[in-house]
Amino acid sequence: MTRVKESVMKCIFALCALMSIGAVIAICVFIFANGIPAIREIGVWQFLSGRVWKPSVNIYGIFPMIIASLYVTAGAIIVGVAPGVLTAVFLLKYCPARLRKPMHTAINLLAGIPSIVYGFFALMVIVPLIGEVFYTGGKGILTASLLLGIMILPTIINTAYSFLKAVPDMYFEGSLALGATRERSIFFAMFPAASSGVLSGIILGVGRAIGETMAVVMVAGNQAVMPGSVLSGARTLTANIVLEMSYAAGLHRGALVGTAVVLFVFILIINLCFSAIKQKKA
pLDDT digits (tens, 9 = 90+) for 56-82: 888 999 999 999 999 999 999 999 999
Q: Which pLDDT score, from 0 to 100, does residue 82 have? A: 92
Given a contact cutoff of 8 angstroms between Cβ atoms, the answer to whether 83 and 154 are in contact is no
- DSSP-derived secondary structure for 92-149: IIIS-HHHHHHHHHHHHHHHHS-HHHHHHHIIIIIHHHHHHHHTS-S-SHHHHHHHHH
- Is the residue at 27 inside a domain? no
The pLDDT score that the predictor gives to residue 201 is 85
pLDDT for residue 278 is more than 70: no
What is the span of the domain harbouring residue 201? 53-281
Q: Is the pLDDT of residue 253 over 80?
A: yes
**Stretch 156-164: mean pLDDT:** 91
Radius of gyration of the chain (CA): 22
C-beta separation of 250 from 21 below 8 A: no
Query: Are 260 and 65 contacting, i.e. CB atoms less than 8 angstroms apart?
Result: no
pLDDT at 281: 60
CA geometry: angle 180, 185, 189, nearest 5 deg: 120
Q: Would 274 be classed as within a structural domain?
A: yes
User: What percent of the chain is predicted at pLDDT more than 70?
Assistant: 99
pLDDT in tens, 174-214: 888 888 888 899 888 898 888 888 888 888 888 888 888 88
In a domain, 46, yes or no: no
Task: Return the pLDDT at 195.
Answer: 84
pTM for the predicted model, two decimal places = 0.88
Which band of pLDDT confidence, cut at 50, 70 and 90, is reported for residue 2?
confident
Residue 48 lies in a domain: no
Q: Is the pLDDT of residue 282 over 60?
A: no
Residue 125: inside a domain: yes
Q: How many domains does the chain have?
A: 1
Overall average pLDDT of the 6-29 stretch: 90
Q: What is the C-alpha separation between 42 and 40, in angstroms, rounded?
A: 5
In this structure, what CATH number is given to the domain that contains residue 96?
1.10.3720.10
Domain assignment present for 29: no
Q: How far apart are CA 161 and CA 149, in angstroms?
A: 18
Identify the sign of the CA torsion 145, 147, 152, 157.
positive
Residue 112 has pLDDT above 90, yes or no: no
